[in-house]
Every structure is written in C-alpha cells, then in structure tokens.
Homo-oligomer: A and B are copies of this chain.
C-alpha cells in the first residue's frame, strides 16, 4: 500500500487554522503525517488534530522538507514570502491569502466548480478564494450553468470573524459593554461613547451598528473586498467580461457571511427552475420557505459546510434576473473547508501517482 502524503498547516493557531484542525479530525483521512506550523511566537504550543496531540513548529524553510501539500492560512505578505519557499522544498502550496489569487499562473479553485484547475499549477501554487466570494459563488455557479451569467450586483453582510479572532473578541467585548443599557442605539453618539476607543480591527463600533467598509481603499473609492468579489468571480467562473458591482458591509454577527445577490442571465429564468438547479448542486442547501420562517441565516449556517441559499425570486421587471440570499460559514467553506477540499484533490493525485 502506498504511503499517504504529508500535509503541513501553516498558520495552525489562527482562527482559520483552528477550524482546519477540527475539519482534519472529522473528514475522511487521506493524510500520513500532519505538521502544524505557525509563527515562532506560537511554536511549542500543542493542538489536537485527528485525536493526536501535535506540537506546533516554527515557520522556517526546513519545516517543509518532506511535505507534499502545504496549506497557508496566514496574512498576504507571509504567504507571498513563504509559499514559494514551500514549493522550492518540494511541496504544492494551497494558499488562502490574496497574495496569488489574481496571478495568471495560479489557479483559483473551488472544487465544486472548477476542480480540473488544480492540475494547472505552473508555480506549484493553488489559490483559495476570498470568504465572501466562496459563500456566494457556490450558489451562483449552478445558476450560471443553467442560464448563462451576465451580471452580479452584490451587497454583503460580513461577520466579524472575517477579521480573525481579534474581530470576534472585539465584538464580544463591545456587546458586554452595552448590555443592560436600553437607550443605547436610540440616541446619537451613545453607542460610540459606550464602546469607547477600542475598535479592534474595525474602523467603527460593530455593536448595534453596520459598517459599510471591509478591506483597504482602492481606486475609485472601491474597497479591496469589493474588488475581490469582482476579480475572483470572473476567474472562478471563467467569465472575464462578467459585470460585477459589490458593496461590502460588516455586521454584528460572529461567524457567517451573507450576500444579497441580484444576478442577471443571458436567458429567461424562473424561480422554481433555479430552486431545482440548487437542490441538486454540490455544497448547497436550499432553505426557501419564508411562510415557514425558512431562509438562510448566519446563526444556522455557522459550523456547517454548505452555502445556505434562499429567498429566490424572479425579478418583477426583468425576466432574465434572479434575486436571492446566501449565507455560509466564512471560516469553513469560506476558508478552511475549501482549502481542505483542494488539498484532498492533491492527495488523491499523489496517492494515484505512487
């Protein structure tokens, strides 16, 4: 019997890395050794993975020796530096940062949509899409196959864990400060006063607020998160001319990104046909019965694998347009799960080749 491939998890102690260890413990095991890697600050800590207690190693070139697949859940600049080093040591890198997503020589893979692209990796690097894009595209791709997508207008409702564990801690701290004061949110300025100066990674208080900003400022007043939705949707679907307008908004939710989607197609659509396409689509759960209180919501989607899709309506004024609402766990399908799925495609390739 062939040896199972060796996996490295870089960024193993972060918010996504923690979910990754949970996933690796619960999914079908295709790995031999699993090596946890993090910054020197976290080295020496232990984490449970597949029922074994593993010691976290410091990030250095030698840590990749003998590794077949190296997953990166680290900031862009760390991936930009270290993914090529992992490749030079013989690994294939699966990167969850934005460092390589728009690189023409790096495929952007969603296993339910374009799994064949994993083999197209001249740099030895495969990119994982942004969490908001992943949540949305899983629901949009089956509709594209049915009707031919032309345009997306998107508005997001993004959870604080998209900004990492510090985002979660910040929201919980703020909620503790405001609890019990029943006039907060009803008078100007009083939420800012109650929350104080500690905004964590956000530009404004998250408690009792919505913040129409995520990422960094780009040309034309767009945020980097909004441009990611456009660029990554085009690349994943192979539609370089797809029209995309997105507004990204952070909301008071711990985990679970939601997106209101207005999708315009090349042919006429119907809501029941769209539901049928989504019922049969991989990675999707259809929850679309408003009369019964069934629609996609973060408190239900958190901790689950699929994108929850509902509120499917044909636009009244455009027979080629659908409106829908999608929610998914931004730490799972939006990050760790999709990375794990890509790595599993690679594991199958290695096992078949040995």
Pick the interface stretch among A72-80, A87-95, A300-308, A340-348: A300-308
Residue of B nearest to A185 (CB): B254
Residue A295 at the chain B interface, CB threshold 8 Å: yes
* A212-B296 contact in complex given A288-B221, A317-B243, C-beta closer than 8 Å: yes
Q: How far is the CA of A14 from the CA of B319 in the complex (A)?
A: 41
Q: How far is the CA of A66 from the CA of B213 in the complex (A)?
A: 52
Pick the interface stretch among A105-113, A121-129, A174-182: A174-182
Q: How far is the CA of A325 from the CA of B102 in the complex (A)?
A: 27
Residue A339 at the chain B interface, CB threshold 8 Å: no
Q: How far is the CA of A203 from the CA of B299 in the complex (A)?
A: 13
B residues near A299, Cβ cutoff 8 Å: 185, 189, 191-192, 204-205, 208-209
Q: Are A262 and B260 in contact (CB under 8 A)?
A: no
Residue A293 at the chain B interface, CB threshold 8 Å: yes
Q: Are A212 and B297 in contact (CB under 8 A)?
A: yes
B residues near A27, Cβ cutoff 8 Å: none
* A325-B247 contact in complex given A220-B271, A220-B316, C-beta closer than 8 Å: yes
Q: Are A188 and B303 in contact (CB under 8 A)?
A: yes
Q: Are B210 and A186 in contact (CB under 8 A)?
A: no
Q: Are B178 and A175 in contact (CB under 8 A)?
A: yes
Residue A318 at the chain B interface, CB threshold 8 Å: yes
B residues near A209, Cβ cutoff 8 Å: 253, 297-299
Residue of B nearest to A301 (CB): B188
Q: Which of A239-273 contact B (CB under 8 A)?
A: 242-247, 249, 251-256, 258, 260, 262, 271
Q: Are A311 and B221 in contact (CB under 8 A)?
A: yes
Pick the interface stretch among A2-10, A34-42, A139-147, A153-161: A153-161
B residues near A212, Cβ cutoff 8 Å: 258, 260, 295-297, 310-311, 325
Residue A354 at the chain B interface, CB threshold 8 Å: no
Q: How far is the CA of A123 from the CA of B317 in the complex (A)?
A: 31
Minimum CB–CB distance for A293 against chain B, Å: 4
Minimum CB–CB distance for A334 against chain B, Å: 14
* A213-B295 contact in complex given A184-B254, A185-B253, A302-B188, C-beta closer than 8 Å: yes
Nearest 5 A-B pairs (CB), nearest first?
A: A185-B254, A179-B179, A155-B155, A188-B303, A155-B260
Q: Are A247 and B210 in contact (CB under 8 A)?
A: no
Q: Are B251 and A157 in contact (CB under 8 A)?
A: yes
B residues near A172, Cβ cutoff 8 Å: 182
Q: How far is the CA of A204 from the CA of B244 in the complex (A)?
A: 31
Q: Are A290 and B208 in contact (CB under 8 A)?
A: no
Minimum CB–CB distance for A174 against chain B, Å: 10
Residue A211 at the chain B interface, CB threshold 8 Å: yes
* A316-B245 contact in complex given A188-B304, A223-B290, A299-B204, C-beta closer than 8 Å: yes
Q: How far is the CA of A203 from the CA of B113 in the complex (A)?
A: 33
B residues near A221, Cβ cutoff 8 Å: 271, 288, 290, 311-313
B residues near A295, Cβ cutoff 8 Å: 211-213
| A157 partner, pick from B157, B189, B204, B290, beta carbons under 8 A | B157
Mind listing 7 A-B residue pairs with CB under 8 Å?
A185-B256, A186-B254, A188-B303, A204-B297, A211-B297, A212-B260, A247-B262
B residues near A203, Cβ cutoff 8 Å: 293
Residue A333 at the chain B interface, CB threshold 8 Å: no
| A247 partner, pick from B175, B192, B260, beta carbons under 8 A | B260
